[in-house]
């Protein structure tokens, strides 16, 4: 068995214009100071990470790696969550997603798609320059407005949606394949890939592309009422990345999975800091270790109550305590013995 790496932390929720969260070097130093040995880096804020420069300059990437090395930290993966969302942005969501893209593409879903696709192509090159093997993104959504089948979906609509989603993503997947990097889609409500069935639909539409893989985040599965541990046993061959994030689902007589348009603090399903929710992380780390997952355990802090810096500090300890060091031998080896062919034949009555 292999060992999960970590702890690491996703930096997206911490970047701001205030120190130590306003430069790559200072935020990396902060992460190291509270116990992290890996950072997952968002690519949409050039004050922290210049994606175009990383795609074009090996020197720039080497400089970033050197900054990390001096702090005892590694870059685990790059993230294009915001850009990936716009690869397949339904026109109905143009206004809501305007801030995910550049000003020139506001309210223009075709311009958003073109820009986002170019961003993913840059991310493939940047990942290669940084020596990374996996990349995280969102797949976007062309069908999310029809997730509940009312009004009734016309026959063939779902198939057409996934066919178009695949058409947009295949060139990107091919570009990542050329540089030896997996594309890991975060399975997430609001995306067309939001559970196992929809991931299977997409995988079929991209002809089982070897670079189409999964970022596993149990918080998005528990809020759908799914068996998030069984998900690992089913899809472990495609799980190449891990977000460690807690959540809870407390349905009542007033509200359930859909949340009643309430704010996060009042929703039955809500994200919590690690250890404060309902996710069974012992079972998750056991299942991933059982299936030889050796990627990074990346804390993604999102909580409707706790201060982010407190959640980050607690998260480093939490992950360290849950990573399993695999045994190098079986616990019952002491009771075993040597066997040869004659003994084996005797034991089966031959």
> By C-alpha distance, which of 300, 228, 338 is closest to 10?
300
Instruction: Check: CB of residue 39 under 8 Å from CB of residue 9.
Output: yes
Q: Which residues of 102-139 are buried (b: 16+ CB within 10 A; e: fewer)?
A: eeebeeebebbbebbbebbebbbbbbbbbebebbbbbb
Determine the Cα–Cα distance for residues 32 and 176; give it in Å rounded to an integer. Answer: 29
Taking a C-beta distance cutoff of 8 angstroms, is the pair 51, 23 a contact?
A: no
Residue pointed to by tokens 């997206």: 12
Q: Tell me the pLDDT tens digit for each residue of 172-208.
A: 999 999 999 999 999 999 999 999 999 999 999 999 9
What's the pLDDT score for residue 49? 98
Confidence of residue 263 (pLDDT cuts 50, 70, 90): very high
The DSSP output letter for 350 is -
Is the pLDDT reported for residue 335 higher than 90? no
Q: Are 28 and 68 in contact (CB under 8 A)?
A: yes
Q: Read off the tokens for 173.
A: 């997947």
pLDDT tens-digit map of 185-194: 999 999 999 9
CATH code: domain of residue 220: 3.20.20.150
Per residue in 111-167, pLDDT tens? Answer: 999 999 999 999 999 999 999 999 999 999 999 999 999 999 999 999 999 999 999
Looking at the predicted structure, is the pLDDT value of residue 250 above 80? yes
Share of the chain above pLDDT 90, in %: 93
State yes or no: pLDDT of 334 exceeds 70.
Answer: no
The answer to whether 146 touches 89, Cβ cutoff 8 Å, is no
Of 63, 107, 113, give the one whose Cα is nearest residue 86.
Answer: 113
What percent of the chain has a predicted confidence (pLDDT) above 70?
99
Band of pLDDT at residue 328, cut at 50, 70 and 90? confident
- 242 with 293: CB under 8 angstroms? yes
Total number of domains constituting the chain = 1
- Which helix or strand (DSSP H or E) is residue 318 part of? helix 308-322
Degrees, nearest 5: CA angle 106-264-15: 55
What DSSP string runs through 110-123?
HHHHHHHHHHHHHH
Cα gap 37→15, rounded to integer Å: 18
What is the radius of gyration, based on Cα positions, of the chain? 22
Confidence of residue 337 (pLDDT cuts 50, 70, 90): confident
**pLDDT value of residue 109:** 87
Q: CA distances (Å), 270 to each of 102, 259, 297, in order?
A: 30, 9, 21
Q: Report the distance separating Cα 192 and Cα 276, nearest Å.
A: 29
**pLDDT of 289 higher than 90:** yes
Domain hosting residue 219, numbered range: 5-347
Confidence of residue 331 (pLDDT cuts 50, 70, 90): low
Distance of alpha carbon 74 from alpha carbon 57, whole angstroms: 19
Q: What would the mean pLDDT of 50-68 be, rounded to a whole number?
A: 98
Between CA 287 and CA 136 the distance in angstroms is 21
């Amino acid at each position: 068995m292999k060992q999960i790496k970590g702890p690491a932390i996703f930096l997206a929720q911490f970047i701001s214009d205030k120190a130590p969260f306003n430069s790559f070097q200072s935020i990396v130093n902060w992460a190291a100071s509270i116990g992290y040995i890996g950072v997952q880096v968002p690519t949409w804020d050039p004050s922290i990470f210049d994606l175009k420069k990383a795609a074009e300059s090996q020197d720039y990437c080497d400089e970033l790696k050197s900054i990390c090395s001096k702090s005892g930290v590694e870059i685990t993966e790059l993230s294009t969550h915001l850009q990936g969302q716009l690869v397949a942005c339904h026109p109905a969501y143009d206004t809501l997603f305007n801030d995910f893209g550049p000003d020139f593409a506001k309210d223009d879903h075709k311009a958003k798609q073109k820009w986002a696709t170019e961003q993913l192509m840059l991310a493939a090159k940047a990942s290669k320059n940084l020596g990374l093997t996996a990349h995280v993104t969102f797949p976007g959504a062309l069908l999310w407005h029809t997730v509940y089948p009312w009004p009734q979906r016309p026959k063939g609509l779902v198939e057409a949606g996934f066919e178009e989603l695949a058409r947009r993503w295949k060139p990107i997947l091919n570009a990542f394949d050329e540089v030896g990097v997996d594309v890991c889609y975060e399975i997430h409500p609001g995306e067309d890939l939001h559970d196992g069935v929809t991931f299977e639909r997409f995988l079929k539409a991209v002809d089982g592309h070897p670079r189409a893989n999964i970022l596993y985040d149990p918080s998005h599965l528990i809020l759908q009422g799914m068996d998030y541990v069984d998900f690992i046993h089913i899809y472990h061959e495609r799980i190449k990345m891990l977000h460690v994030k807690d959540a809870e689902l407390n349905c009542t007589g007033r509200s359930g999975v859909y949340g009643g348009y309430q704010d996060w603090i009042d929703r039955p399903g809500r994200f919590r800091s690690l250890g404060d929710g309902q996710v069974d992380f012992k079972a998750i780390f056991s299942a991933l270790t059982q299936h030889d997952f050796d990627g990074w355990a990346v804390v993604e802090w999102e909580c409707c109550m706790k201060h982010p810096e407190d959640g980050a500090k607690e998260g480093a300890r939490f992950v360290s305590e849950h990573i399993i060091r695999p045994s190098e031998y079986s616990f019952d080896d002491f009771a075993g013995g040597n066997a040869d062919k004659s003994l084996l034949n005797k034991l089966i009555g031959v």
